[in-house]
Structure 1
Amino acid sequence: MADTSFDLIVIGTGPGGYVAAIRASQLGMKTAVVERDHLGGICLNWGCIPTKALLRSAEVFHLMKHADAYGLSAKEVGFDARKVVERSRKVAGQLNAGVKHLMRKNKITVFDGAGRLDGVAGGLRKVAVTDKDKKTTALTAKNVILATGARARQLPGLESDGKLVWTYKEAMVPPSIPKSLLVIGSGAIGIEFASFFRTFGSEVTVVEVLERVLPVEDEEISAFARKAFEKQGMKILTGATVKALKKAADSVTATVESGGKTQELTVERVISAVGIVGNVENIGLEGTKVKVDRTHVVIDQWGFTGEPNVYAIGDLCGPPWLAHKASHEGVIAVEHIAGLKGLHPLDVTKVPGCTYCQPQVASVGFTEKAAKDKGYQVKVGRFPFIGNGKAIALGEADGMVKTVFDAKTGELLGAHMIGAEVTELIQGYTIARTAESTEAELMHTVFPHPTLSEMMHEAVLAAYGRVIHI
């Protein structure tokens, strides 16, 4: 019979939960994880990774259609939606198997089922795990980490039905590419799906309640992105609200209100991407000191919930809702439980954000407006992709890099990028933020040529009137 007593139990095995479990094992804790669906959580199975596989197929298809621009020819370019989805699912399956291997390698016990807090006994936390056959296993641990994640928000009257109105989950496994599509919400999830389906020929309309797309990004980047999306043929309605959805047999008519005017739009399918809500139900929070604010668990800088020996991490706890943020929080919580010295709480302004649309968008730190609103005097640098040799050679000359510095101290306050491969490039600025670099260190850094990364150097130089190649 399997052990039921542990030093740490982690409920949920997304990128927060499984990373926390591995770190706990490294620190000598006897560790167990509880998972009701798939190891790796939403990210590996239905989120970050398989969507990037879909977007990679779209990127290759885009390049094939424009082969002539590279002196190449490709006849009868087409696609098979079923195979595109199949490849994405295989990628997810491979990573799911990888997490299983990591659990075995680190001697972490896996319990399949839904876990919930079940009180305290003898100073130990009790956790009840109920499997698919309704059989319950009682576990105990010195500490518990809640990492149950989040799910798509459902707006009244706009609820998904799995057929005509999709969440991200249905959008990832479409039986075919719809001829027309309405995307509600222009955050990262909405825009990535809009980009994917537009590349494969859907007539895409994006509705955003705020005044610009990708509203968390710098205003200049948002404006650049909108122009790029509209050039691709997307229709974008900002400052707009979907008031109602009327379903027919194989189409949906949306009533959209914008600027005091109402219009009706009929499409084959709708994707609702209007945010997420934390999975706080049925995890035993009743009667505990765990506080829930707008569906998210409230934690301190170490992930502690206020309930003795209970921590929480990741999307369950609020923004930014990013896999890498969850992983980092998991490590912080475990190291705090272990009593390690010299820990640093997470600074969310040093967490990069990436959107894998076409063109890609990435950022870290404060936008120019946010920096000014906080009272900083700023120096701003900009460099266009058209000024970079590698970007021109790649045929990817549309884009820009923007830097925001504190005019008094030279601190890099923020960096914002749009264009080819910026989701890879942003890490350079993220390291600079973490290392508290100033413009001096960045200017003295030698960037390799010819690379896209040279634009990062030029955008620093531009903030101080020293730009070379424009």
Structure 2
Amino acid sequence: MTKTAFDLIVVGGGPGGYVAAIRGAQLGLSVALVERSELGGICLNWGCIPTKALLHSATVLRACREAAHYGVAGAGEARPDLAAMVARSRKVAGRLGQGVAHLMKKNGVTVYAASARLAGAGKLALDNGATLSAPHIVLATGARARELPALPVGERIWAYRQALVPAEIPKSLLVVGAGAIGAEFASFYRAVGSEVTLIDMTAEILPQEDADISQLARKAFEKQGIRVLTQCAVKASSPTATGVKVVLDQQGKQSELEVERVIVAAGIVGNVENLGLERTRVKVEKTHIITDGLCRTDEPGVYAIGDVAGAPWLAHKASHEAVLCVEAIAGKPAHPIDPLRIPACTYSYPQVASIGMTEARARERAGRTGGEIRVGRFTFAGNGKAIAMGEDQGLVKTVFDAKSGELLGAHIIHPEASELITGYGVAASLEATEEDLMHTVFAHPTLSETLHESVLSAFGRALHA
């Protein structure tokens, strides 16, 4: 007889859900995981991983085209093989999906391929007719792309799924939304030859980032040939013989743009429908489930983690929430996650990575509290490893509390930014001060020396600036 009673049931098999299932099993709980589609969720199958595979193909293509600069002859005629790039991206996603399935089996997690909805205290009804029960139910149902009425997704107007498996490279492309997803798609398609226009309703691209970084990113994008329009929105669209005509509104001035394809990357909405929440005390605000610091909802025994529980919408935030949530369920010490210690990365070219407060936010806080901040800047043009790599454009910016030496924020723009930001993440988690960072010995020659120099700069001690 198939088991239907568990200690813990997780709904959703993405980076939050499957990690919650694994941690629960490690702690000795009997665990079931319910996933209606693909293990690994959107991140592994249609988001984080396949996009990075495509972006790495673009990096290799870019390196081949610039090979002569490094004394390598014969590679300058490199051209994109789109079908091979897409096939490799799907293969990478498939391999990791199989890996998640293996981890479920290895940890003794029972997996149900079904949709689920809450059906009373401690009960879940599956769409295959089964009913499961557990005293603890974790909702990790993720999110989906926000739809725009003016841009209905179809053959010529793409969301992320269609953009990941193109049949051919569009000659011209409009990317709507200049956050992380939009910036990444703009970078990839420009690298493979599309004429790209990137627009956003805000005053700058990557609007969540520090202003200095956003401005440098815009300059880098425009240098690559990406047309960037800010404070710009799409008012209407219509099909043409070869693509899509859109009406743009930029600060009240309207214009028309005709492109072969459009990618909509205008944010996400939480997957809260058809979960049976209406019969519970669970509160939903702007399509996201409200939780406390330990991921508990207002309904006893029901928890929510990851994208469905709100910003920041990051896979590593979901995984971290999964662990703390399940450890709290198991009676282990657990501490609420601090949003200011969650790094954010954009894998465009160049990459952008950050943690903590922007300079503007830190100054605003200092103004309220009567404090002061110190800001450090160090460009990669002063770093030996960056010069040797031929990647000497970029900036490391740090923000400190002037009195306590607390690291309030760190911001990096460089092709290796996503790998570098973890250094500051560790420092923030350990509550390292500027003195601790100054006394840390950084290996030479490495890109990480820029992290050290930016800290020194904040306190008037930069050595190579």
The alignment partner of 1:374 has SS state of: helix
Do the aligned partners of 2:353 and 2:413 also contact (CA within 8 Å) in 1?
A: yes
- Within-5 A mapping of 1:42-441: 42-73=42-73, 74=75, 76-120=77-121, 125-130=122-127, 135-161=128-154, 163-341=155-333, 343-375=334-366, 376-441=371-436
Rounded to whole Å, the distance in 1 between the matches of 2:44 and 2:253 is 41
Rounded to whole Å, the distance in 2 between the matches of 1:390 and 1:129 is 55
The alignment partner of 1:329 has SS state of: helix
The equivalent of 1:451 in structure 2 is: 446
Q: Deviations over 1:379-435 (max 9, x none)?
A: 000000110000011010110100000011100000000012110010000011111
Q: TM-score, normalised by structure 1?
A: 0.97
| Post-superposition offset of 1:38 | 0.3
Q: Deviations over 1:314-371 (max 9, x none)?
A: 0001100000000011111111111113x21000000000000000100000000010
Q: TM-score, normalised by structure 2?
A: 0.98
Stretches of structure 2 that go unaligned for 5 or more consecutive residues are none
Rounded to whole Å, the distance in 1 between the matches of 2:106 and 2:43 is 21
Paired-residue identity, %: 58
Do the aligned partners of 2:65 and 2:76 also contact (CA within 8 Å) in 1?
A: no
| Post-superposition offset of 1:107 | 0.3
Do the aligned partners of 2:395 and 2:414 also contact (CA within 8 Å) in 1?
A: yes
The equivalent of 1:7 in structure 2 is: 7
Do the aligned partners of 1:411 and 1:437 also contact (CA within 8 Å) in 2?
A: yes
The alignment partner of 1:21 has SS state of: helix
The alignment partner of 2:134 has SS state of: strand
Rounded to whole Å, the distance in 2 between the matches of 1:344 and 1:304 is 13
Do the aligned partners of 2:10 and 2:140 also contact (CA within 8 Å) in 1?
A: yes
The alignment partner of 1:101 has SS state of: helix
Do the aligned partners of 2:351 and 2:415 also contact (CA within 8 Å) in 1?
A: yes
Do the aligned partners of 2:68 and 2:76 also contact (CA within 8 Å) in 1?
A: no
Rounded to whole Å, the distance in 1 between the matches of 2:189 and 2:316 is 26
Rounded to whole Å, the distance in 1 between the matches of 2:153 and 2:62 is 30
Rounded to whole Å, the distance in 1 between the matches of 2:38 and 2:47 is 12
Q: Deviations over 1:153-210 (max 9, x none)?
A: 001222211x111011110111111000000000000000000000011000011100
Do the aligned partners of 1:21 and 1:31 also contact (CA within 8 Å) in 2?
A: yes
The alignment partner of 2:118 has SS state of: strand
Rounded to whole Å, the distance in 2 between the matches of 1:457 and 1:403 is 10
Amino acid at match of 1:55: L
Rounded to whole Å, the distance in 2 between the matches of 1:331 and 1:248 is 50
Rounded to whole Å, the distance in 2 between the matches of 1:451 and 1:116 is 51
Rounded to whole Å, the distance in 1 between the matches of 2:410 and 2:337 is 19
The alignment partner of 1:263 has SS state of: strand
| Post-superposition offset of 1:78 | 1.4
| Post-superposition offset of 1:76 | 3.3
| Post-superposition offset of 1:137 | 1.1
Rounded to whole Å, the distance in 2 between the matches of 1:365 and 1:231 is 28
Stretches of structure 1 that go unaligned for 5 or more consecutive residues are none
Rounded to whole Å, the distance in 1 between the matches of 2:113 and 2:146 is 26
Rounded to whole Å, the distance in 1 between the matches of 2:265 and 2:77 is 34
| Post-superposition offset of 1:248 | 2.0
Rounded to whole Å, the distance in 1 between the matches of 2:229 and 2:51 is 24
Amino acid at match of 1:406: D
Rounded to whole Å, the distance in 2 between the matches of 1:142 and 1:240 is 49
Do the aligned partners of 1:387 and 1:469 also contact (CA within 8 Å) in 2?
A: yes
Do the aligned partners of 1:164 and 1:250 also contact (CA within 8 Å) in 2?
A: no
Do the aligned partners of 2:67 and 2:76 also contact (CA within 8 Å) in 1?
A: no
The alignment partner of 1:119 has SS state of: coil
| Post-superposition offset of 1:77 | 1.3
CA RMSD, 1 decimal = 0.8
Residues 75 and 418 from structure 1, CA distance in 2 versus in 1: closer, same or farther, beyond 3 angstroms? Answer: closer
Amino acid at match of 1:432: A
Amino acid at match of 2:415: A
Amino acid at match of 1:354: C
| Post-superposition offset of 1:287 | 1.2
Rounded to whole Å, the distance in 1 between the matches of 2:93 and 2:250 is 39
| Post-superposition offset of 1:374 | 1.1
Rounded to whole Å, the distance in 2 between the matches of 1:377 and 1:387 is 28
Rounded to whole Å, the distance in 2 between the matches of 1:322 and 1:260 is 34
Amino acid at match of 2:275: I
- Of stretches 73-82 and 189-198 in structure 1, the one that deviates more from structure 2 is 73-82
| Post-superposition offset of 1:373 | 1.0
| Post-superposition offset of 1:308 | 1.1
Amino acid at match of 2:278: E
Amino acid at match of 1:94: R
